Structure 1
């Protein structure tokens, strides 16, 4: 019998249930020598005492599963927890403090009051600017904060007058908000009256493994059924959904750490930064709620490299929602800041896969309501070149109006007798035969003309194109001649006056361009909709007396304020016209061609050099 010293005490999790040929107890032989603990395979083959197979010393699968289950689950949970912490660290929360309403009146202490907001997320604290309108304060200010572990955004409103007065506070839990979506939230104040309007977006700036998708993506058939004509529902603010997949980009200059931002009205999301490459890949999908079918998708590409003090813009493109084709992979050429020329690089472009689902009835009703205004806008800049170009713009505009007036005078003064006679006959014939129900039909004539010949018609523009003022242009002599008799007070009021005059004139020109673009089917959906309204108006005027219709129109106008006391003052017709793009917007929408990138052939074929050797 073998001695007990030659036996090995095998741990329980490495125990083996096996017997030898003689029916003895399950043991594993070992050598007295300490080197035998290495379990060399050669010594096992040539030693009779160590005849037990190596496989017998390996734990069985069942024992590993039962005995190491706790260890494996602990390791997995630790890894998941580590990824979650990294996901929280790499998440940026973008908060836009928009406005507040229903706040109590501040004390009347004879001083001007200002309302500001304090926000805290984790250890970061921010303070907004002052809002002078206490009843309906507006800030429209953006803050970017890294997501904290507690996910609690604490806010407090303060009134600053002669003394600092507390107006109310609230706590918002961000853990219930889905990522890569913009959430419009009206948060009620806990310690006071009123509520605060916030626009919150959480985006991951790194491509982590963990995703936060809570549900399986719906199929295209389900989405189309959700926004059919019959399925109107109760929510008339959201008219549809836009699904965008940002696949990749090619031809970017250098090897940037590129990332994209996508905006639809006040909804803004951001992709993660791709690795340093001229052809970055993102493969990110986003969903936008559509509130206005005439809106655009603005995509911008930036470089977030370490050597960039500010993120450099690599290109941008504006895509109108009405021009999106469902489930179509399409390349879009990137433009520069002016959106008129191609961006820098080797034909820079981005690949998008988009689908849009919307309800035409809700979209039509929404077109006659006030248009959503962007929260964040860049203020207009003032410089001498702007003054010079604006003065030229005003001068040429009034010159056109003067020439038009003179032409009408000549028409009525019978300078050209044949033209005046034809105009007189046409005027008399028109007003003798025209009826009220026929006036919408007359307005349909330009639509029918451009609908029949729109493919062969060349684009026209009402706006005069001016050359930009060169920075090197010396206008000091012009200023000396024009501003000799102008006082300092008038010079200080010149920027505001110029901006007002230019904005007024540009508004009139923009209206004319929008009406022309409506008739020329620049946006076919709006043009067909206008034709439908003109036909309905013609039938209504034919069936209903004009005076009754005007009475109903007056009742509608006078009772709107009584039926909806909180409505915004607007003009239905101007709200519809504001959805039609003018020529500047059409230039922003114009798609650049996406040719194949050209390869520089710098290497030229060299002629072989032959040397002659003379025999010595």
Structure 2
């Protein structure tokens, strides 16, 4: 006979198993819907100057790039949705227009029943818009998906030698030109977490793990009333880009409320150590500082290097639409410093050249003058990629030390409280302005006299925020671009640097043996006939696509693995009391 306590524990165990099985079934997708948004035809209506398209499938949502309004807009973008065969597969397409003041208005809509389309076939659809004139042209392909699973440790897919051998054969070099989108397979064992933050008043938490790889999301079950949970679950993900980053976030389940954050780690796929159980220190939401607790993971990665290399020169997968990032004083200040560093490097180089021309140092100017004469006299075009290749070799032999200064980390951390204070003040100002009338109903008539001024002030506040946010994004793009070029030459990601060296070797040999006019002729013919050969092709810039895979200095900090220490202090610094 069971005691009352044993019976309660058994009941809780059975309930957790049922919930875990239900959760497993609800989150596994069995197909990928690839949508290529091509163009609009004869789209008319509305009076605003710009337009974009929103695509929705359940809770998955994408937003296209914004174009200047025209009757035949050309988007040419690709989006991938997860398809669940046991749910309604109705794709909602909405065409929106907006103006420079961020006012948006829906122009027209259309729907697609995904379940009615044939599988493994590119379906070219021309969809008439409701509520306005015009049509939307797109390609829709439904492809069955394999490789995604959730299981217990006892049925680990790669633990079976025969199954592991079969998967390895699937991604061997002999199959490099088969199914180019299927690059590899990632297996993640989520074992346990230790010493998590207590999120409940009882001094406990109800933790669960969310794993994200690009747009793919899977999660564990919840372990209730525990700061040292053991999940012992195995997740497998199909790899679509070897340069993706696995994000593992621990949350505290809070009933109907949004879950509380308990910590996070980001692990680039190329940094995974196969088959080793690793202890990762949890970080804060920005992945810049240590939080409380550690998590134990074991990962295995099998992929085809040829497919991964080819995928590097194609556009990255677009992310689902999420909330816009708030204006941040910390991020803005950090981006200004990053752009300043790049500007100073360019300025110092310019000053060095100027000093050579001014003969400030006789020895330096003499050497520079001789190098200039010899280089110009013997210059051939193939020497440009050869010089870049030599720079890679030099950095490989004597790598640049000091990946990201710890001073930068300390500077970033000092802004946390200031940023929160500023955001709180800003929200309070807007809130007080917008609710003053409700707080004093007796004086409603007097406040109605300044209604227009109040609305104007709110609009000006938001307009300034939009402008500063735009400046912040531009600064971040400039800084990231410069840092990615530097990190490519610094061998920050050996896979990418080796790939760049391989391309430079090919370019050097090509330019040495083939006249430049033939190379330009081949390039021009390819560009001019690309759309004739494939009317639905998507244009891209291979160099920018390559650089988008190289981490910036900020991302290097976020991806850096922290060493566990006994005196972790995850909490924010206490605000000083005035």
TM-score, normalization by structure 2: 0.66
| Counterpart pick for 1:321 among 254, 257, 269 | 269
Q: Does structure 2 retain, via aligned residues, the 8 Å contact 1:158–1:164?
A: no
1-side partners of 2:124 and 2:354: how far apart? 62
Query: 5+ unaligned residues in a row in structure 2: which ranges?
Result: 1-13, 97-104, 117-121, 130-135, 199-203, 427-455, 569-578
TM-superposition CA deviations, 1:170-208 (whole Å, max 9, x none): 3759xxxxxxxxxxx99999999978799999xxxx999
2-side partners of 1:325 and 1:576: how far apart? 24
What's the CA shift for 1:166? 8.2
Q: Does structure 2 retain, via aligned residues, the 8 Å contact 1:293–1:322?
A: yes
Q: Does structure 1 retain, via aligned residues, the 8 Å contact 2:184–2:301?
A: yes
Superposed, which structure 2 residues align to 1:245-324 within 5 Å?
A: 245-254=189-198, 255-306=204-255, 309-324=257-272
Q: Does structure 2 retain, via aligned residues, the 8 Å contact 1:99–1:139?
A: yes
What's the CA shift for 1:302? 0.3
Superposed, which structure 2 residues align to 1:155-194 within 5 Å?
A: 155=90, 157=92, 167-168=110-111, 170=113, 172=115
Report the counterpart of residue 468 of structure 1 in structure 2.
Answer: 415
Question: Secondary structure of 1:219's partner?
Answer: helix
1-side partners of 2:398 and 2:334: how far apart? 36
TM-score, normalization by structure 1: 0.62
2-side partners of 1:239 and 1:338: how far apart? 29
Q: Does structure 2 retain, via aligned residues, the 8 Å contact 1:117–1:156?
A: yes
Question: Secondary structure of 1:349's partner?
Answer: strand
Structure having the higher helix fraction is: 2
Report the counterpart of residue 338 of structure 1 in structure 2.
Answer: 286
Pair 1:250–1:527, CA change in 2 (3 A): same
Pair 1:322–1:505, CA change in 2 (3 A): same
Q: Does 1:153 align with 2:62?
A: no
The structure whose Rg is larger is 1
What's the CA shift for 1:332? 1.5
Q: Does 1:538 align with 2:508?
A: yes
Report the counterpart of residue 560 of structure 2 in structure 1.
Answer: 590
What's the CA shift for 1:523? 0.9
What's the CA shift for 1:365? 0.8
What's the CA shift for 1:325? 2.0
Pair 1:293–1:399, CA change in 2 (3 A): closer
2-side partners of 1:423 and 1:462: how far apart? 36
Q: Does structure 2 retain, via aligned residues, the 8 Å contact 1:328–1:354?
A: yes
Pair 1:321–1:218, CA change in 2 (3 A): farther
What's the CA shift for 1:570? 1.7
Pair 1:266–1:445, CA change in 2 (3 A): same
| Counterpart pick for 1:510 among 477, 480, 498 | 480
Question: Secondary structure of 1:244's partner?
Answer: strand
Q: Does structure 2 retain, via aligned residues, the 8 Å contact 1:170–1:188?
A: no
| Counterpart pick for 2:180 among 236, 246, 255 | 236
Q: Does structure 2 retain, via aligned residues, the 8 Å contact 1:240–1:289?
A: yes
Report the counterpart of residue 376 of structure 1 in structure 2.
Answer: 321
| Counterpart pick for 2:397 among 449, 452, 458 | 452
Pair 1:241–1:186, CA change in 2 (3 A): farther
Q: Does structure 2 retain, via aligned residues, the 8 Å contact 1:315–1:336?
A: yes
Superposed, which structure 2 residues align to 1:524-563 within 5 Å?
A: 524-563=494-533
Q: Does 1:222 align with 2:166?
A: yes
Report the counterpart of residue 602 of structure 1 in structure 2.
Answer: none
2-side partners of 1:305 and 1:84: how far apart? 19
Report the counterpart of residue 564 of structure 1 in structure 2.
Answer: 534
Report the counterpart of residue 443 of structure 1 in structure 2.
Answer: 388
Pair 1:323–1:86, CA change in 2 (3 A): closer
Question: Secondary structure of 1:588's partner?
Answer: helix
Superposed, which structure 2 residues align to 1:16-415 within 5 Å?
A: 92=26, 151-153=86-88, 155=90, 157=92, 167-168=110-111, 170=113, 172=115, 219-254=163-198, 255-306=204-255, 309-344=257-292, 348-382=293-327, 405-406=350-351, 408-415=353-360
2-side partners of 1:158 and 1:453: how far apart? 53
For these two proteins, the number of residue pairs brought into alignment is: 480
Question: Secondary structure of 1:334's partner?
Answer: strand
What's the CA shift for 1:228? 0.7
Point out which structure has higher relative CO (alpha carbons under 8 A, 6+ apart).
Answer: 2
Pair 1:298–1:198, CA change in 2 (3 A): farther
What's the CA shift for 1:100? 8.2
Root-mean-square deviation over aligned CA pairs = 5.4
Pair 1:426–1:500, CA change in 2 (3 A): farther
